[in-house]
Amino acid sequence: MCYAIPGRVVSVEGRSVVVEYFGERKKAYSDVSCLHPGDYVYAQGGFVIRVIPPNEAEEILAIWKETFFELQELDLRLSGISLLEGRAHRRTLLLLERVLEGRSLSREELLYLLELRSPEERELLYKVANFLRRKYLGNSCCVHGILEFSNVCHRNCLYCGISVHNRGLPRYRMTDEEILEAVREATERFGFQALVLQSGEDPGFTLSRLVALLREIRRRHAVLIFVSCGEVGLEALSELYEAGARGLLLRFETGNPSLYARLHPGFSLASRLAHIEQARNIGYIVATGALLGLPGQTPSDIVDDILLARSLSPEMYSFGPFLPHPATPLERHSPPSLEGVLNALAVIRLADPENARILVTTAFETLHPEARRLGLLAGANSFMLNVTPLRYRRSYAIYPGRAHEDESVEEQIRSTVELLLSLGRAPTDLGV
C-alpha cells in the first residue's frame, strides 16, 4: 500500500527536486544518484524513494488518471463548507471565519474550540478542518506500513502494555531473517513504499544490529524507512540515518514536565525532546505528538501539546487516545471520548493548516470502529496498516484489543482502498 502515484521530475538542484503529477508540482528531497528531469519516480514523505522505468510509470498513470480526477471531485464535494449550516455560537463562527481567511488563532482561541461540546458546533469544526486539509494538501492520503519487530522494553511507562509492568506478557524478538522476510513481503508483494520499524526500547537490539539491519534492507529494497524504537541516543540517530533510516516516529506523549515525570519514572521530557530536535537537525522526517486523555491531563495541556508539536516542525502529527491496559498502574482510568479525540485532530489542523499531515492512530481505531473515516473527515490525512506477522501481532499489546490485530494485510488493504475511494482520497503523498 502507500501506492504512490508516479511523478515526473521537472527540475533537480542538488538534493532538491520538483516532481509533477497530473499537473501538480511539489518539492521533494533525493538521495538517488544520477536523477534527471524527465525521470519518473516514487516519492513519499518528501523523499524520492526510487526511479521507475518510463513504460511502467506511464502504464500506472494511465490507469490512475481518470480515477484520480474523479476522486478529486468527490473529495471537493465532501469537503465543502458553509458557516451558515446549523446553529453555532457567534464566537465559534468568528473564530472559524478567521482561520478560513488564513489568519492564525491564539492559544486561548484554540482551547475554546477544543472544548466545544454541542454536536452542531463540533460538526462545523470538523468540516472547517476538513476544508483546510483539502485546500492546502489536496486529496492525498499517506498510508504507511508498520512492522513491530520486538515487544521487549526496559522502560516503566505507567500506561503502556509492553512496559516492565506487564510481567505476564509473552515477549518476542523477531530474528533478522524474519524482519527481512516481512519487509520483502510488504514491499514486493503488497507494494508498500514506506515502512515504520517499531519496537520497545529493547536492549537485545543493539545499535550495531539495527545499523546492519537497516543497511541490508536498503540494499535489498527501495523503501522509505521510519524507525520507532524509543530513545536510542543522540549519536545513534546519526548512525541510523547513515544506515538508511529517513524517518523518526517518536512521540513526546505529554509536554507537561511534571505529568511526564509521573508517567515515566526515572526519565525526563527534556531527553525526549532532545531526541526529536536532534532528528530534525540531522534531516529526518519527524513524526511526533502526544497521548490524549491521560489521567491528570487538562484541555490546556492538550493545546500546549499541539503547540509544542507544531514548534518541532514535524512532517506528521501523531495524537492518539490513552487506552487503559489491565496490566499497568493506570488500569482503572477511563479513555477519552470519541468527540474529544476528533476535536483534538481538528484543532491540530486549525493550528497548522498548511503543513500538518495528521495520523489517525490505531489506538483511535481501537477506541471506535468508525474512527478512521471520522478522523479523515475531521482534518486527518494519514494512517498505517499493520504488516507485523500475525503470530506476533497480539503480543505487541501496548493496549488491549487493538484494531486489526487479527486481520491479514490483504484484508487491511481491501478495506483501506474501499474507504479511500468512498471519501475521494488518493493514496499518494509527494511531500511539501
- What crossing angle do the helices spanning 269-282 and 234-243 adopt, rounded to 10°? 30
- Containing structural domain, residue 67: 7-77
Sign of torsion, CA 230 234 240 241? Answer: positive
- pLDDT band of residue 430 (cuts 50, 70, 90) is very low
Asked if residue 127 belongs to a domain, the reply is no
Asked if residue 178 belongs to a domain, the reply is yes
Q: Can you tell me the mean pLDDT for 117-125?
A: 95
Going by the DSSP 8-state scheme, the letter that residue 359 receives in this structure is: B
pLDDT at position 59, please? 84
Q: Domain ends where: 77, 92, 109?
A: 77
pLDDT at position 432, please? 33
Q: Can you tell me the mean pLDDT for 297-320?
A: 97
Same domain, 207 and 292: yes
Gap between the Cα atoms of 157 and 162, Å rounded: 9
Percent of the chain residues topping a pLDDT of 70: 97
Same domain, 159 and 65: no
Q: Give the pLDDT confidence of 51-86 residue by residue, as tens digits.
A: 889 998 888 888 777 777 778 788 878 777 776 555
pLDDT at position 2, please? 42
228, 250 in Cβ contact below 8 A? yes
Same domain, 177 and 318: yes
Backbone φ and ψ for 114, nearest 5 degrees, come out as -60, -35
pLDDT at position 52, please? 87
Same domain, 222 and 322: yes
- Provide the domain count of the chain: 2
The strand pair at 16-21 and 7-13 is best described as antiparallel
Same domain, 144 and 71: no
Q: Give the pLDDT confidence of 151-202 residue by residue, as tens digits.
A: 999 999 999 999 999 999 999 999 999 999 999 999 999 989 899 999 999 9
CB neighbours (10 Å) of residue 246? 24
pLDDT at position 347, please? 98
Same domain, 71 and 142: no
Asked if residue 118 belongs to a domain, the reply is no
pLDDT at position 78, please? 77
Same domain, 71 and 161: no
Tell me: pLDDT of 14 over 90: no
Which three three-digit cell numbers place residue 128? 472547517
Gap between the Cα atoms of 111 and 91, Å rounded: 13
Element (H, E) at 197: strand 194-199
- pLDDT band of residue 428 (cuts 50, 70, 90) is low
pLDDT at position 38, please? 92
Same domain, 309 and 402: yes
Asked if residue 282 belongs to a domain, the reply is yes
Q: Can you tell me the mean pLDDT for 306-310?
A: 98
225, 195 in Cβ contact below 8 A? yes
- pLDDT band of residue 314 (cuts 50, 70, 90) is very high
187, 236 in Cβ contact below 8 A? no
Asked if residue 2 belongs to a domain, the reply is no
Same domain, 21 and 147: no
Asked if residue 128 belongs to a domain, the reply is no
Range with the poorest average pLDDT among 12-16, 30-34, 271-275, 317-321: 30-34
Tell me: pLDDT of 431 over 60: no
pLDDT at position 325, please? 97
Same domain, 234 and 380: yes
pLDDT at position 83, please? 67
Average pLDDT, the chain: 92
Q: Can you tell me the mean pLDDT for 119-134?
A: 95
Same domain, 225 and 333: yes
Asked if residue 429 belongs to a domain, the reply is no
The strand pair at 40-44 and 7-13 is best described as antiparallel
- Model's pTM, two decimal places? 0.91
Q: Domain ends where: 62, 77, 92?
A: 77
pLDDT at position 371, please? 98
Element (H, E) at 43: strand 40-44
Tell me: pLDDT of 96 over 80: yes
Gap between the Cα atoms of 230 and 218, Å rounded: 21
For residue 407, give the nearest of 368, 364, 366, 358 by alpha carbon. 366
CATH code: domain of residue 37: 2.30.30.140
Same domain, 65 and 178: no
Q: Give the pLDDT confidence of 194-247 residue by residue, as tens digits.
A: 999 999 999 999 999 999 999 999 999 999 999 999 999 999 999 999 999 999
CATH code: domain of residue 330: 3.20.20.70
Q: Domain ends where: 77, 94, 111?
A: 77
Asked if residue 104 belongs to a domain, the reply is no
pLDDT at position 157, please? 97
